[in-house]
Each structure stands twice: as C-alpha cells, then as structure tokens.
Structure 1
C-alpha cells in the first residue's frame, strides 16, 4: 500500500509504516502546496496529515483510492468529517497520545505566570538584583477554571490538585458520575458565568465548533478577576483575540498564554505581538519528543490496521 504523509511526522512512525510493507512518501511541506497535493493524492491508499492540510471534498474527490486518513493529533477542524463519512473513509486520530504534553504546558504556563524565571534571569543579566519585583505568588489555594472536562482537563486537574489548587470546571456533556468529577475532585459549575469570576486561571479544553467559536470574548473578560490569566492550548478562534488584547491592555485581566491562534502563524503587525503579558508559542503544547513518538507510532499502527482490513479503536467515525 502507498501512504502519503503531508506534514511533520516523527521518524519512528515512518519507519514503522515502511517495516510493515508500505511505500511511504513524506513531504512535511506538502500541506502548503495545494496544487501538488491534488495531483499526488490519486496515487495513494492512505493520507497522514496534521492540522494544516485541508481534507475537504475537493481533495477527497481526487483521492479516489484513499481508504483511511490518519490525523497526527486530535483536533479535527481541518477535516470535513461529513465528507469522509459520505465516502466511507475512516479518520484515525491520535487518541490521548499528546495529552500529557499539553497538560505539562498548562502547568508550565501557570508556574510562569506567578514565577517568571526567564524574566528574572534576563533582568539579573542586565546587572539588576530586584528581589521585590520578582517576589511572585504561590499557586497553592488559587482556583483553576477548566472550560471543558475531557481527558486533558482530567489530567490537568490531577496535577493542579497536587499543587494545592482548587479546580472547578464547566462542561454540559459531563455528569457527576464521570471520572473527572467523581474521582478527580473537580467542582462542577453549571455556567461559564459561574466559572469566570471564581477563577485565577482559565484553561480552555474544548474543540473549535460553531458553538465554541469566540466562546471567550469581551463579555467573558468583563466577568473575570483583574489578576486572572487565560490559557488556550485547544484551538485558535475559541478566544476572541482582539477582545483579549483590549482586556489585557485595559487591565480587566492580567494576561494570557496562547499556544493556538485563529490564524497561524501569527502575522507581523498583529495586535497580539504588542502586548507583553500575552505570551505566545507556536502551537507546541502537544509537541514533545515523547508525545510525537507516541503519536507517530499510534497513527502508523492504526492506519496499517485499517489498510489490512481491520478496524481501529481510534477511528473518529
């Protein structure tokens, strides 16, 4: 079978595909070369993508031999699931493979907000010794509000609790019997209007849908504490970025950590770049060496399973 990989994939996953007998063509920039992708797609039995490749009806109409699509991650907003379902093409996502890495990013963001060691180091190297300015705060006894209570939020809650952080959460699809509430000790709230005023940190863990687009906006920021931080490792577009800039500049909230943006990469001249307390990273929350190895191996094995006529427990549809 022939497999086309259109974005970054760790080498061990590619080797796994080759060792199971597949021919693999790998171009991590192909996602940005649409015309080339459309010309190549008909030759392949499987596509493996990340988050930049648009898997839409146009691509699927020419990829007539594709039997399975592997997604190196869990976000699916770049894949037209209705179109894949109509063509009976299973989509395999890397279920939970990068969850631990995202969780540790969230913890790092909270620690950085209260103890900015890189800033302290830079200041000392300038010849200063400002112990009062870099006194910082404790996470102990602070409140973390989780927007969405899936697997990643569950793992965040476990680690946050070890720091003595009170964890509350909002998710209309979670009941009191689900493990994140029943076993992790997250206190459920019934609306975001309850969550925002209580939280010192708000961490976003929902997919980007019509319902969640710009879910956190000007009205949301007006309900938050003036020292609150927003952390978004989910998807760009859930947080209204211009409203965020205004909220931070007017000191309605303290700042934000954005790993994902509505338009990636960030454009020079973006208002986000003008606000120092909005910290940006290049969509790396789930990118650690360990997580990417797990992701690549999981997708390689599950795609092979489907190509061999089997079914995958990681199939989205």
Structure 2
C-alpha cells in the first residue's frame, strides 16, 4: 500500500521526487472517488490535495497512520486544521509559491474589464466596427482597492503602483508600520469599496467574510467600478453581483472562485448573458510555472515531515 496519496493534479517531476523515497499513489481523479480514497488511506502516512478534497474528520478517521497533509495551494478552507492538530497531523500549505500567478491574474482581469474591447471579439469577427463603444479606460490614474493586504495583495499592489495606479487597502491584521503601506493608503473596508475603480478581494472565507460583498456593499461602489475575486468563493454574494451587473450598476467583474465548486450549470445560470463578466475555473493561482513551484515545495515539505529516505 502507498505511503503517500495524491488526490489531485501535481507536477509529474515533483511526484517523481516523492516516489523515489516512498511508495506513492498519484491519481488526480481520486478526489471524485471517496470510497477508493478512503480505502487507500489505510496505510498512508501523507496525503497531498488541492482545494477540492475535503480533509474532514471522516476522511482523517480513515487514515490512522497519517502524519502530514500537503496542500497544493495556500487556502485551508477544505482542511479541518483543528482535527488535524488533534491527531498530531502536520498541515503544510504552499505559502508564497503561487503569489505571482494570482497577482498577474488580477492585473490582467483589471486591464480586460476596464478596456472592455477584449471581451467583444465576436462583434468584430461578424463585420461590425464599434470603435467608439470599445474605447474603454486605462489602468493608469485609477484607484485600486484591496480588501485584505497579505502577500498576494501586496504583489498586486506593487505591480499596480508601477503601472500608475493609486492604492488603497484595508487589513486589520497587518501592522501599521509594515513596509507594504509605503505604496498603499490604509483605509476602512467602506472606503476601499467607495474609492476603488478596481476592487480586488484577498481575504480568507470565514463567518465574518461570508457574503462580505453583498447587495449593500455593491451599491456603495462606483457604478463603473470592477470587482475581482480570486480569493475564495462565498465572499461575494453571487446573486447580488449578477443582478448589479445586469442592471448596469457595476462596470464589470471577474470571478475565479465560486460558492459552488466545480460550478454547475444550475449555479452558473445566474451569470448567463452578462457581457462584462469574466469567469474562470479556480485557476488564478495555477500556471505551468506556479504548478511546478507549488508541487516541488510541497514535495520537499512532505519528504521533510516523513524523513527523506534518500
């Protein structure tokens, strides 16, 4: 039986590093086969997941020998950290390894939504020539509002600052003397929403942040502002966002994360026929390069936790 179980996709070379030291089972589709996963966990000492595998009390009870859970990413919403701690199971996220990927996603989304023209290729291909209505807006001179000012948000801020944007941010957990505030103004959440031409979310999903951006919050934003959520599904009230976009009360939005993941056709129906909307399947932090960084970092941490045999 394998000592390391990997339930979702991982860089093949990193898998090879693990397999060189321990018997490793790599089945990216195992996340969708709970019965098989539970059976494989009997002898497992390490479990490596992304965001879809639910590492809860039920799953942990199937792995009596588990010593470490590696998260191919940074969010821990799908991992019961307290239950792991109670069982002396170490939880290791890939902190910092995909910051650049998410930052570039946010900047690219902001550029696309402000300019607008990139979302209307079909009109040009059909023989229309809507130059005036496709002029759009520039990023430079606009205000970027960041809800949460952790490592990823600061990567976004630095890039936005270099492109000529003004930065405002709110983060009650970041010390006021942190170097990041040198390029960002420390304001309240209400001020971020009211001042931002682009508002990007960078908070975990907790009881206090669930539906933080609801109908009331959306109504306080500029009517031509754009909203980007590459943090966690559930922070935004999706129905309220869809309604605001359809009613023209918001300039656009990009969602990489959703309350229901994978997004079903039924859950996605609310977004139909909204032109100023970008939807992506939780890939802001996943590029060829970041996948390699994340995978090798987790491989290294898991080997360290198990005691590398090589």
TM-score tier by shorter-chain length is: over 0.9
Q: Which moved more, 1:118-127 or 1:161-170?
A: 118-127
Shift of 1:126: 1.4
Shift of 1:120: 4.7
Shift of 1:59: 1.0
Shift of 1:273: 2.9
Change (3 A) 1:288 1:117: farther
Distance in 1, Cα, partners of 2:117 & 2:136: 10
User: Corresponding residue for 1:15?
Assistant: 16
Matches within 5 A, 1:153-192: 153-182=153-182, 185-189=183-187, 191-192=188-189
Distance in 1, Cα, partners of 2:71 & 2:237: 26
Deviations 1:205-232 (A, max 9, x none): 0111111111110110110000011100
Deviations 1:172-220 (A, max 9, x none): 11122112114xx11110x211111111111000111111111110110
Shift of 1:17: 0.9
Secondary structure at the residue paired with 2:292? helix
Secondary structure at the residue paired with 2:253? strand
Shift of 1:106: 0.3
Distance in 2, Cα, partners of 1:63 & 1:246: 45
User: Corresponding residue for 1:225?
Assistant: 222
Q: Which moved more, 1:39-48 or 1:112-121?
A: 112-121
- Does 1:248 find its partner at 2:249? no
Matches within 5 A, 1:101-180: 101-180=101-180
Deviations 1:52-111 (A, max 9, x none): 111111111120011111000001000001100101101010011011000000000011
Shift of 1:130: 2.2
Aligned residues between the structures: 305
- Does 1:24 find its partner at 2:24? yes
User: Corresponding residue for 1:283?
Assistant: 282
Shift of 1:291: 0.1
User: Corresponding residue for 2:61?
Assistant: 61
Asked whether the equivalents of residues 116 and 276 of structure 2 are also in contact (C-alpha less than 8 Å), the reply is no
Shift of 1:121: 3.7
Shift of 1:117: 4.7
Any unmatched runs of 5+ in structure 2? none
TM-score (norm 2): 0.95
Secondary structure at the residue paired with 2:145? strand
Deviations 1:37-58 (A, max 9, x none): 1111112110000111111111
* Root-mean-square deviation over aligned CA pairs: 1.4
Change (3 A) 1:291 1:139: same
Distance in 2, Cα, partners of 1:203 & 1:118: 20
